[in-house]
Amino acid sequence: MKKEKIVLGMSGGVDSSVAALLLQRDGYDVEGVFMKNWDDKHAICSAEDDYADALSVSKKLNIPLHKIDYTKSYKNKVFKQFLDDHLEGFTPNPDVLCNKEIKFEVFQKYAKKLNAKKIATGHYAKKTIINSINYLEKATDQSKDQSYFLYQLGQKELKHAIFPLGEIQKKEVRKIAKKNGLINHNKKDSTGICFIGERKYNDFVGQYINAKKGKIISIDGDELGTHNGHIYFTIGQRKGLGIGARLSAADKPWYVVKKDIKKNIVFVAQGGNHPALFSKKIIVNNVNWISQKPTHFPKQLYAKVRYRDNDKACSVFCLNQNSYLVKFKLKQKAITPGQSIVFYDKNNICVGGGIISKRDIPFLNKTLDE
């Protein structure tokens, strides 16, 4: 009996490598796709080294490996947006956009080219099908769950997708890799933004954006110093402000609480628990509902406002076709415009998410209309 063909994204890391092994064990005819998305010797994702690891694993498992250069598409669809968001005063998350615009699109194109109906990745996530509707679910190993980065997928992408690592603990993945002699069994997980690598974030962004100096002002109206560009600062940031000790100030660190992009001003406040850092309501745009848009609002859900955050109870109100008001049960610290908020139900199903565009700051009388 002929095996069913599946196309797997292989990055050279241990996760996608073990995913290939598990798919083979499940009886699939696996073909790998390695995507080169960035060409820079300083990047974490060194294409040459990662490709060598992916090739080693594919040879050991006797899997064909297709190499595609997608650097041009990545720069046009992901990196350009990354820079544009900075200019707008946002703090972007390029990994989310990459999954939708680059990875899954490429996998599905290759699947069609190779006469395969299914695609797979090494993400830690699960898919559940109920009444022909595809649901994205948190991975069993919730410390490694990556559903946060997949919330922009829809039925089209999920329909034929498989996540082989959804039920497995990360430590078990490494054990499987070592037991089967995979060269990358002990390879370090990539962290941070791949294309920045070991360079300082500000140095990298500064190569592409002509930032202008501006004022750093306390929420009380005192001018405290000068910044080199609002693009280098994010809400809740503590380090790199360059504000020296002041005789009239309390002995507490300064935090970024607000940015005025038009006036090029960065506002700061003292103390990690300053009320200006906290918000209870936010506006969210570009919301994607993975399975189906809720029929009734407000919708009671749980949300992450950053990847490593815990789920927080919230109510979601529909303002219009593209904009939603989210009210949290408790105030949340340092919610950052430009980052993603991802929604879950009580059963750990990822129902969707969107981009945070505004937050209320009651302390500064910057509240959102209800």
> Where do the H-state alpha helices sit in 12-103?
14-25, 47-61, 71-74, 80-87, 94-98
Q: What is the pLDDT of residue 299?
A: 97
> Where do the H-state alpha helices sit in 92-148?
94-98, 104-113
List the single range of 75-89, 91-105, 187-201, 254-268 with lowest mean pLDDT.
Answer: 187-201
Cα 104 versus chain centre, distance = 15
| Residue range 66-76: mean pLDDT, rounded | 88
* Six-digit token string for 369: 């209309």
Give, for 279, the enclosing helix (H) or strand (E).
Answer: strand 278-289
Show the domains of the chain with their CATH numbers.
5-179 (3.40.50.620), 211-270 (2.30.30.280), 277-364 (2.40.30.10)
Please name the residues in contact with 118: beta carbons below 8 A apart, sequence gap of 6 or more: 4, 5, 6, 7, 28, 111, 160, 161, 162
Cβ atoms within 10 Å, residue 133: 13
With pLDDT > 70 as the criterion, what percentage of the chain qualifies? 91
The most confident of 1-5, 270-274, 362-366, by mean pLDDT: 270-274
Q: 194 pLDDT exceeds 70?
A: no
Give, for 59, the enclosing helix (H) or strand (E).
Answer: helix 47-61
Confidence of residue 352 (pLDDT cuts 50, 70, 90): very high
Query: Which strands sit side by side in the sheet containing 29-36, from one edge to the other?
Result: 65-69, 29-36, 5-9, 118-120, 161-162
Active site residue 314: no
pLDDT tens-digit series, residues 11-49 = 999 999 999 999 999 999 999 999 888 776 555 556 788
**Residue count (the chain):** 370
Active site residue 350: no
| Residue range 317-327: mean pLDDT, rounded | 94
